[in-house]
Structure 1
Amino acid sequence: MPQAGDAAPGFSLPDQDGNTLTLSQFAGKNVVLYFYPKDDTPGCTVEACNFRDEHSALEAAGAVVLGVSADSTARHRKFATKFDLPFPLLADTEHTLCEAYGAWGEKSLYGRKFLGIIRSTFLIGPDGKVKQVWPKVKVDGHVAEVLAALGAKAGASSAPVKKASTKKAAAKKAPAGKVARPAAPAVKKAPVAKKTGARSARTKQASAVKKPVSRSAVKKTGRKPR
């Protein structure tokens, strides 16, 4: 693995658009060459999006970002399109560049050992020499470390995220110059009794009083109808 002060190994590899990129074409600029295991996997996606979010700050610091993995150009293109990545992804399908930078080696996962890309980053200076090496990258805070090495500060990705409840509360504030008044409580109207029900009740009472007594009832009781 190259160390600070060593000449950076050159390369000539295609990016996601099929363009062949070389280290020499970036002479006079800082190059952030970062190696990652695989496209569209959790850690690699977070790392790529962090570089994307700070891309303007990295460019302002005079740096070019280049991602490298063993994925094909087609997979790179799909990954870059999905997450709107503004920098090239080099397809090192034969992992020759990974080996040149010592980013290819034995890894272990759940007790299983295998060969693969070791997440690492190299900052190459304008003179083509390695300025700084991050051999075993931890994704969280890594882009801020790269910016610090370039003498720049993190921008978009380091900004605090406002809570949604705060935004909603701000949206409900009354416009300037106007005093919000509390809304008057709603007055409930008493239910109005249906006239039809009252009339039907009186009709039933009247019919009960005026109903004539039958003759059979008179014979049984001996009373005359009123």
Structure 2
Amino acid sequence: MPQNIGPKDTPGDIYYKAYTEEARGNAPHQAPWGLKQKDMFNEFGPCRDWFLNSFPPGEANRQRARTHDGLYQAYVVGEANTRAANHQIVREWRTMVKERADWEKYRERHVRQAREFEKAIAKFDEEKAKFEADRKSEEWGREGLRGKLHTAEDLLAKERAEWKKICAKDNERMYAARSKIIELEGNVAELTRKVEDAQVAQENAKVWRSFTLSLC
């Protein structure tokens, strides 16, 4: 049954007191606050309005049913977990940022080496063109021409092999760094969820305290 509604009750008081699971249990929660789009949480009024009216009446009743000791214990546990989670988030965020910076350095080095390889190819093409021009203007023996060409091709093949090794090594490092970043982001998301859960418990406690004070 709805609770007694007094003449001085606010719309929020009436909204919560008039709640019954049978009548409104499946209705969408429509917070009876007066928050405006321009409001910010740097003032007491909007923060208090949000705390008083943000939770659905069913949750408010669940918290109201707690004993004083139970509510106090939930508040202490939630606050401690929130602080501990915040501490771990700060530590892991610092690690994630550092590893992201290391990954950026690997990427920059990879790009720099790619440019150097492109320059080496351009130089080789230039030398090859010069070689073709010299071959036309000079009377070289067939074996001499073949030997010079093979030497140039062997050099290019060696440089390409070295380049592939460098690329493979840098790719492994970048993949490991990226995997670590993804793992840390997942940890941050999990910790954030835990913080939100703890904050919900804390906010429930504050709602109950505010409600208790309003009845005094």
Q: How high is the TM-score relative to the length of structure 2?
A: 0.23
Q: How high is the TM-score relative to the length of structure 1?
A: 0.23
Larger radius of gyration: 1
Structure with more helix by fraction: 2
Name which structure has the greater RCO, CA cutoff 8 Å, separation 6+. Answer: 2
